[in-house]
Structure 1
Amino acid sequence: MEPQKTKIALYVKRSFGEKLGASFDFIKEHWKLLLKFSTYLLLPLCLVQALSLNGLTQGILAWGDAAGGASGYNEAALPLGLMSYYGLYLLLYMVGTVLLTSLVYAMVRAYQERDRCLEGMTLGVLKPLLLRNVRKLVLVILLGILLLVFAGLALGFISKLFSSSVLLLVLCFMVLALPLALWAPVCLFEDISVADALVKSYRLGLATWGGILSMMIVMGLVAAILQGVTMLPWYIGLAIKTIFTAAESGSAAVNSAGYDFVLYLLAIVQGFGTYLAMIFTLVGLAYQYGHASEKLDNVTVESDIDNFDKL
């Protein structure tokens, strides 16, 4: 019988290296489950997302041909088609991001709260927590859009008053926006409202600003490498199609249904790979949140006090 592994606690004060180690350990320990659940939830979405991505790129190529004087294109309809494909792609990408974030944080929370961690975990068992996370994340996105619009208007107004300090204003905006990276973890790991989670994410985020930035840079680099590996075949295939279409020699081969189907399959791989790459950043921010909560709020001490009468 395999000995039970030590649980990777969430609410622990850690150095930056220890936070990275905890994040990678969680992914390494549960990569099969993460891949399995992500496939169930996101692969069907990627099938449609790949169609919108290829439609968007085909429209851009057609628009370029029309601008170069090629005949056979309805120039009035091209921008509308591009906007439709782009809008659909953004919508699907947002849905995929919500599903993945909800899934990862549901797994991390279940891992912390269950005695058996994620042993025997199924999507059916995870479903109530997953649906709760989706609902809360939708509210986070809607409120985030409102905040972004308000911040943009305020930034535009202030920049007109102080036109010589636009760069400084943008830098300040970026600094103040970084704590929002903890908004989702706070909202999904704690049973509080979205607004309260926003306030708490700023309190935790401003106190651990450097840790958030470092975590996002390192995990972003890891994610970029993985994303680049899965995206490269699609980019190469698209580049070959663009070159041969422009040169007209061999254009029949790259404009065939078979080649378009290969591009579609490659687009599915790059879309799914993009989502998988996000897991590193999401898990890293989860353990950054746990570090910040323990550092500022002594979560484990308060939990021990609350449960003292049960000992």
Structure 2
Amino acid sequence: MIHHQTMEYTNPKIRYYRVRTFSEKLNITFDYLRENWRVILRFSLYLLLPLCIFQAFALNSYVSTYMELMKDPDDAKDIVIRFALQGGTYALFSMIGNMILSSFIYGLMYVYNHRTERLTGLTFTEFKGTFLRFLGKCFRLALFYSAIMILVGGLIGGLAAWSLWTLVVTLLLFAVGILIVISPIMLFTPMYLFEDRPFFETLQRAFRYGMSFWFEIFGILFIFGLIGGIISTLTNLPWYMVFVVSQLFTLTSPESGIDQSLGYQLLIYVLGIIQSYGYYIAQIVGVVGLAFEYFHIREKREGVTVESEISNFANL
């Protein structure tokens, strides 16, 4: 039997569905992270660190092959195939990592809102059902986005074969299109995970709300993107510095073989794990912030809190 540890909270439970100003959304995001960072860190170690062990290997192999390709571009047929396969492997790990990240962060937020003890004493056994349900939804999102990317990639490739001018125009239109739809697309993930609506109905609502609140969503993405970028840079810097130094040694003293030494391989692998894990940790603040933007939009448009209070009163 699991005994939950009781905990006296000095702060009231965070209410999700409230209309908030921009600064209030920033503050409530950090309040949530400050209250629950231990649980978030623990679950991130369980769920993301094992993936990062493999992702670091894929990253280092990909970068190593890229440098090999740059050194010998004339005889590169086999290298290009290997480079493409390793790039695809790294992209696959990144996609899985982002699915896990969204599933466990939004899963924890869901549990926090529905559990009297909030996240205190939460075990993975208790959390597993919610996590797997959210992971299944994230998998459907990933399939949808992958299909869209394949279609768009095929279109751009076909136009590139037509002429250089059509390629340039298509890329410009694509960049403008991405900028227009980025807010609805980003809103789609929390909306689909937190609600029990059909996929395409939710997509339609995400576009309707996302376009109406485009500037608010983009502002949240921009601010938290900057914060995440700083954190990611700090965890990426050691790996990058060691890699650059090794390349300088290789260029100035090719016979040194520093990039083939066991010590270097071990160091760059460990730093690759830190880099990969840091990349996901850096995204957490933005993922949580986007959720509070979604709660704000739903409360403003649908009055979720009012409907809930009316329903509770009717049940008395």
State the partner residue of 2:73.
Answer: 67
Are residues 157 and 293 of structure 1, via their aligned partners in 2, closer, same or farther at CA, if it must alter by over 3 Å?
A: farther
Are residues 132 and 79 of structure 1, via their aligned partners in 2, closer, same or farther at CA, if it must alter by over 3 Å?
A: same
Instruction: Give matches, 1:52-91, under 5 Å.
Output: 52-67=58-73, 75-91=76-92
Identity %: 33
State the partner residue of 1:97.
Answer: 98
Instruction: Give matches, 1:1-311, under 5 Å.
Output: 2-67=8-73, 75-149=76-150, 167=172, 170-248=175-253, 251-311=256-316
Cα pair 1:244 1:250 within 8 Å, conserved:
no
State the partner residue of 2:4.
Answer: none
Are residues 15 and 92 of structure 1, via their aligned partners in 2, closer, same or farther at CA, if it must alter by over 3 Å?
A: same
Cα pair 1:50 1:267 within 8 Å, conserved:
yes
Are residues 303 and 151 of structure 1, via their aligned partners in 2, closer, same or farther at CA, if it must alter by over 3 Å?
A: farther
Cα pair 1:61 1:242 within 8 Å, conserved:
no
- CA positional deviation for 1:297: 0.5
- CA positional deviation for 1:76: 3.2
Are residues 107 and 165 of structure 1, via their aligned partners in 2, closer, same or farther at CA, if it must alter by over 3 Å?
A: closer
Are residues 265 and 194 of structure 1, via their aligned partners in 2, closer, same or farther at CA, if it must alter by over 3 Å?
A: same
3-state SS in 1 of match to 2:17:
coil
Cα pair 2:95 2:142 within 8 Å, conserved:
no
- Name the aligned partner's letter for residue 128 of structure 1: G
- How far apart are the structure 1 equivalents of 2:121 and 2:146? 38
- How far apart are the structure 2 equivalents of 1:23 and 1:136? 23
- How far apart are the structure 1 equivalents of 2:155 and 2:253? 51
- CA positional deviation for 1:168: 6.4
Are residues 154 and 12 of structure 1, via their aligned partners in 2, closer, same or farther at CA, if it must alter by over 3 Å?
A: farther
- How far apart are the structure 1 equivalents of 2:248 and 2:170? 44
- Name the aligned partner's letter for residue 65 of structure 1: K
- CA positional deviation for 1:152: 6.6
Cα pair 1:241 1:255 within 8 Å, conserved:
no
- Name the aligned partner's letter for residue 235 of structure 2: T
- How far apart are the structure 2 equivalents of 1:55 and 1:219? 30
- Name the aligned partner's letter for residue 98 of structure 1: M
- CA positional deviation for 1:272: 0.2
- CA positional deviation for 1:4: 4.6
- CA positional deviation for 1:215: 0.3
- CA positional deviation for 1:146: 3.1
- CA positional deviation for 1:208: 1.2
- Name the aligned partner's letter for residue 283 of structure 1: V
- Give the number of aligned pairs: 305
Gaps in structure 2 of 5+ consecutive residues: 1-6, 160-164
- CA positional deviation for 1:88: 0.8
3-state SS in 2 of match to 1:67:
coil
C-alpha RMSD of matched pairs (Å): 2.6
Are residues 40 and 128 of structure 1, via their aligned partners in 2, closer, same or farther at CA, if it must alter by over 3 Å?
A: same
Greater CA deviation, 56-65 or 230-239?
56-65
What TM-score, normalized to structure 1? 0.90
State the partner residue of 1:71.
Answer: none
- How far apart are the structure 1 equivalents of 2:141 and 2:260? 43
- Name the aligned partner's letter for residue 264 of structure 2: Y
Cα pair 2:48 2:277 within 8 Å, conserved:
yes
Greater CA deviation, 163-172 or 45-54?
163-172
State the partner residue of 2:162.
Answer: none
Are residues 242 and 151 of structure 1, via their aligned partners in 2, closer, same or farther at CA, if it must alter by over 3 Å?
A: closer
What TM-score, normalized to structure 2? 0.89
Greater CA deviation, 119-128 or 96-105?
119-128
